[in-house]
């Protein structure tokens, strides 16, 4: 039996001589093959970067057609103005790679000089160079110093104070990016940020004593969850959050549903009686949680509650 002929090749990456299995084998090993592939990709990236700087188009480097057209348009625009001594605002913007608004701002604050005549603005290329020659030293914006977090809650303290589960705490910490750290391998959480999240909005309704839970509303009014959320939103019912639970003002909800309905003022009647502007009236309604209901585009305000608020002002 005849012996097989050995194929001797030279590796295109390391230049070593090796015995190849096929005539088309270019590299002596998988390692050289990988290195050559990565090198080719780097070359493509460099060509892409060079094309953006010089305006030359390389259509085989993986750039999108849209980007190629943008580069080509910029290259053509630059070729037209590169030797011009006097430039328009648009041409100056192309030269400096900024927007027209930026150029007008430079002109307004005298950073850049120009000549205006017959509705045209001309900028000398030498004045553009002078803008850089006479520029002031760059001043970095002062960075805001953040106050260090010094007070923390442990996991058990949060669970006890806000009546929430451990999984819920970690969910809130992750979503709200609440600062935390480790002490002796245990996580502790910023007291300021935890209080801000769990007590947000509660201080606005300190004067409201009675609240409905979602379960209370479902039992009393036979409402589904979507119906409750819709009704609360439409009638601006005050609500508060305690851990994962949400509560709604009993007084405001009953009033909006038509139970224990007092007499009402219209907005105009309340403004006239208490000598208030519309903005001032709405401020007092929000600040003191005065019950109100909406009927179409109109608002009806609880007469007893508003009278009680302004009883010292009634003549």
The two beta strands, 211-213 and 292-295, are unpaired
The number of C-alpha atoms within 13 Å of 143 and in the hemisphere containing its C-beta is 3
Distance CA 132, CA 285 (A): 58
The two beta strands, 245-249 and 298-302, are unpaired
pLDDT band at 3 (very low <50, low <70, confident <90, very high): low
Average pLDDT over residues 124-139: 81
pLDDT in tens, 82-95: 888 899 998 888 88
Domain 151-200 grouped into CATH 1.20.950: no
Q: Is the pLDDT of residue 112 over 70?
A: yes
- Its pTM stands at 0.30
Mean pLDDT, the chain, integer: 78
Partners of 211 in the beta sheet?
249
Average pLDDT over residues 11-28: 82
| pLDDT attached to residue 314 | 44
Residue predicted with more confidence, 58 or 272: 272
pLDDT band at 240 (very low <50, low <70, confident <90, very high): confident
| pLDDT attached to residue 5 | 64
Architecture in CATH for domain 84-133: Orthogonal Bundle (1.10)
Q: Is the pLDDT of residue 274 over 60?
A: yes
Instruction: Spell 257-281 as b/e; 16+ CB within 10 A means b.
Output: beeeeeebbebeebeebbebeeeeb
The dihedral through the CA atoms of 296, 301, 302, 303 has a sign that is: negative
In angstroms, the Cα distances linking 49 to 40, 61, 232, 285, 300 are 15, 10, 56, 61, 66
Q: Domain ranges for the chain, please list them.
A: 84-133, 151-200, 206-259, 262-309
**CB–CB of 291/252 below 8 Å?**
yes
Distance CA 256, CA 301 (A): 11
| pLDDT attached to residue 200 | 57
Domain 262-309 grouped into CATH 1.10.10: yes
Listed range (25-39, 133-147, 278-292) with the worst mean pLDDT: 133-147
pLDDT in tens, 178-224: 888 888 888 899 888 888 877 654 444 556 778 888 888 888 888 88
Q: Is the pLDDT of residue 297 over 80?
A: no
Q: What end-to-end distance do the CA atoms of the chain give, in Å? A: 127
Residue predicted with more confidence, 295 or 61: 295
| pLDDT attached to residue 207 | 63
| pLDDT attached to residue 265 | 82
Average pLDDT over residues 52-74: 61
Q: Is the pLDDT of residue 1 over 50?
A: no
Whether 206-259 and 262-309 share one fold: the answer is yes
Listed range (1-5, 122-126, 186-190) with the worst mean pLDDT: 1-5
CATH of domain 206-259: 1.10.10
Please choose, from the candidates 37, 16, 40, 36, the residue with its C-alpha nearest in 3D space to the C-alpha of residue 28: 16
| pLDDT attached to residue 59 | 47
| pLDDT attached to residue 54 | 53
Q: How many CB atoms lie within 10 A of CB 63?
A: 19
The dihedral through the CA atoms of 41, 43, 44, 48 has a sign that is: positive
| pLDDT attached to residue 28 | 86
**CB–CB of 7/28 below 8 Å?**
no
| pLDDT attached to residue 303 | 80
């Amino acid at each position: 039996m005849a012996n097989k002929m050995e194929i001797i090749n030279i590796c295109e990456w390391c230049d070593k001589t090796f015995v190849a299995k096929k005539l088309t084998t270019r590299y002596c090993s998988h390692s050289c093959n990988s290195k050559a592939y990565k090198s080719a990709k780097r070359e493509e990236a460099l060509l892409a970067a060079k094309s953006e700087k010089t305006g030359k188009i390389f259509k085989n480097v993986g750039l999108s057609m849209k980007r190629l057209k943008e580069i080509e348009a910029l290259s053509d625009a630059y070729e037209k103005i590169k030797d011009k001594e006097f430039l328009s605002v648009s041409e100056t913007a192309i030269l400096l790679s900024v927007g027209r608004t930026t150029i007008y701002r430079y002109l307004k604050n005298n950073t850049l000089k120009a000549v205006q005549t017959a509705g045209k603005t001309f900028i000398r290329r030498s004045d553009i160079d002078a803008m850089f020659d006479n520029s002031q030293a760059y001043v970095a914006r002062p960075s805001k110093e953040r106050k260090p977090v010094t007070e923390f809650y442990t996991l058990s303290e949060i669970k006890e104070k806000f009546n929430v589960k451990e999984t819920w705490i970690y969910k809130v910490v992750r979503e709200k990016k609440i600062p935390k750290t480790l002490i002796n391998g245990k996580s502790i959480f910023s007291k300021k940020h935890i209080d801000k999240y769990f007590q947000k909005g509660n201080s606005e309704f300190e004067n409201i004593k009675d609240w409905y839970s979602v379960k209370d509303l479902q039992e009393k009014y036979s409402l589904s969850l979507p119906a409750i959320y819709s009704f609360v939103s439409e009638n601006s019912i005050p609500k508060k959050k305690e851990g994962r639970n949400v509560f709604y003002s009993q007084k405001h909800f009953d009033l909006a549903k038509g139970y224990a309905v007092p007499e009402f003022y219209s907005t105009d009647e309340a403004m006239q009686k208490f000598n208030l502007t519309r903005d001032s009236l709405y401020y007092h309604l929000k600040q003191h949680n005065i019950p109100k209901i909406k009927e179409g585009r109109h608002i009806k305000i609880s007469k007893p509650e508003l009278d009680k608020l302004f009883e010292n002002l009634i003549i």
